[in-house]
């Protein structure tokens, strides 16, 4: 079986160190392999009649918010990081669960930030969803939860491949947008509002938590919830780490020691790690 992309690239770089390939050959190969991931991502997210991912996402976002001026939508996207920071400073005076949940529920800028991020215009890290899909496919996983689903792009990718999908988030507004996106593509998914609902017990064999844990008031509690929601032998695909970023005050967790301790204490076993591209880890419920 072909190795996962980060493992392929790590192995290729070893051949550079051994003088079997040039750095230029490595870069060219990396771009080709990433191009395949980009195509998979774009094919899942493009609306009918669109060929360019960025243009498609801007058009889709404009449709949802009722603005036909894509230049204006792009302007809002480009200002979204600063606007999210401003909204946080205005609304979250005390970092507690009600305040943080209210922020994500009411934020207007978060929609633009996430959609722009998923356009791959600034970095390739959303392609970790494609990596997660390849991992899940190899393990035969068919029941998927995107925990902290945001704008629903990961759920759309998995649903496109015939997987039974659920989305969970504390933001009712983002869940509503995600369901609108899925409906536009004639795809279905269960939506779980974590403010009012619980994750079903032992319902999933694969869970992603993409850049989620640094946003949580209680990441240890989240691990416990995901443990209960996973079937025995199921997998958690997550990135557990965040650096201090003055532009993103919503990243409220930097110490993940208690989170890793909880994972270990519950019996999660690390079975794979991406230490080359985006830094995700996969834990299996044992």
Segments making up each domain of the chain, as ranges:
125-285
> Which sign, positive or negative, has the C-alpha torsion 254, 125, 106, 184?
negative
Quote the DSSP letter at residue 241.
-
H or E element that contains 259: helix 257-266
Q: Under DSSP, is residue 140 helix (H, G, I), strand (E, B) or coil?
A: coil
Report phi then psi at 213, rounded to 5: -65, -30
β-strand 230-238 against 281-285: which pairing, if any?
antiparallel
Q: What residue has token string 């557990």?
A: 240
* CA separation for the pair 137, 102 (Å, rounded): 36
Quote the DSSP letter at residue 163.
-
Query: How many other CB atoms are there within 10 angstroms of residue 23's CB atom?
Result: 10
Q: Which residues contact 39 (CB under 8 A, 6 or more apart)?
A: none
Task: Please tell me the predicted confidence (pLDDT) of residue 129.
Answer: 98
Task: Please tell me the predicted confidence (pLDDT) of residue 242.
Answer: 82
Task: Please tell me the predicted confidence (pLDDT) of residue 245.
Answer: 86
Q: For residue 146, with 0-12 CB atoms within 10 Å meaning exposed, 13-18 middle and 19 or more buried, which class applies? A: buried
* CA separation for the pair 268, 233 (Å, rounded): 9
H or E element that contains 50: none
- Which of these, 148, 271, 267, 273, lies nearest to 207 by C-alpha position? 148
Task: Please tell me the predicted confidence (pLDDT) of residue 8.
Answer: 96
- Which of these, 79, 99, 83, lies nearest to 91 by C-alpha position? 99
Quote the DSSP letter at residue 223.
H
Q: Where are the alpha helices (DSSP H) in 92-209?
A: 97-106, 109-118, 128-138, 153-160, 172-184
Question: What is the Cα 155 distance to its own chain's centre?
Answer: 9
CATH architecture of the region 125-285 = 3-Layer(aba) Sandwich (3.40)
Task: Please tell me the predicted confidence (pLDDT) of residue 241.
Answer: 87
Bridge-partner residues for 204, per DSSP? 230
Q: What does the block give as tokens for 90? A: 């205005």
Angle at 221 between CA 216 and CA 222, to 5 degrees: 60
Task: Please tell me the predicted confidence (pLDDT) of residue 244.
Answer: 81
Q: How do the pLDDT tens digits run along the chain, 286 residues long?
A: 789 999 999 999 999 999 999 999 999 999 999 999 999 999 999 998 999 999 999 999 999 999 999 999 999 999 999 999 999 999 999 999 999 999 999 999 999 999 999 999 999 999 999 999 999 999 999 999 999 999 999 999 999 999 999 999 999 999 999 999 999 999 999 999 999 999 999 999 999 999 999 999 999 999 999 999 999 999 999 999 888 889 999 999 999 999 999 999 999 999 999 999 999 999 999 9
Task: Please tell me the predicted confidence (pLDDT) of residue 236.
Answer: 98
């Amino acid at each position: 079986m072909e190795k996962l992309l980060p493992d392929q690239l790590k192995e290729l770089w070893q051949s550079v160190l051994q003088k079997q390939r040039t750095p230029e050959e490595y870069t060219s190969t990396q771009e080709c392999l990433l191009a395949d991931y980009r195509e998979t991502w774009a094919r899942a997210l493009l609306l009918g009649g669109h060929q360019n991912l960025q243009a498609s996402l801007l058009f889709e976002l404009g449709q949802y918010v009722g603005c036909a001026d894509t230049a204006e939508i792009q302007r809002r996207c480009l200002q979204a990081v600063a606007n999210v920071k401003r909204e946080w400073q205005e609304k979250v005076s005390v970092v507690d669960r009600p305040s943080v949940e209210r922020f994500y529920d009411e934020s207007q800028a978060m929609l633009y930030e996430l959609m722009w991020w998923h356009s791959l215009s600034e970095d390739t890290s959303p392609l970790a969803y494609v990596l997660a899909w390849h991992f899940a496919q190899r393990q035969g996983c068919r029941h998927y939860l995107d925990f902290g689903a945001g704008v629903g792009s990961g759920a759309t990718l998995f649903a496109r491949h015939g997987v039974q999908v659920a989305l969970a988030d504390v933001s009712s507004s983002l869940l509503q947008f995600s369901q609108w996106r899925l409906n536009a593509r004639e795809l279905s998914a269960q939506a779980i509002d974590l403010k009012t609902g619980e994750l079903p017990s032992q319902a999933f064999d694969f869970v992603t938590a993409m850049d989620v844990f640094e946003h949580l008031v209680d990441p240890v509690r989240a691990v416990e919830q995901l443990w209960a929601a996973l079937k025995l032998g199921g997998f958690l695909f997550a990135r557990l780490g965040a650096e201090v970023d003055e532009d993103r005050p919503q990243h409220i967790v930097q110490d993940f020691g208690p989170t890793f301790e909880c994972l270990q204490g519950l019996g999660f076993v690390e079975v794979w790690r991406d230490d080359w591209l985006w830094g995700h880890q996969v834990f299996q419920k044992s």
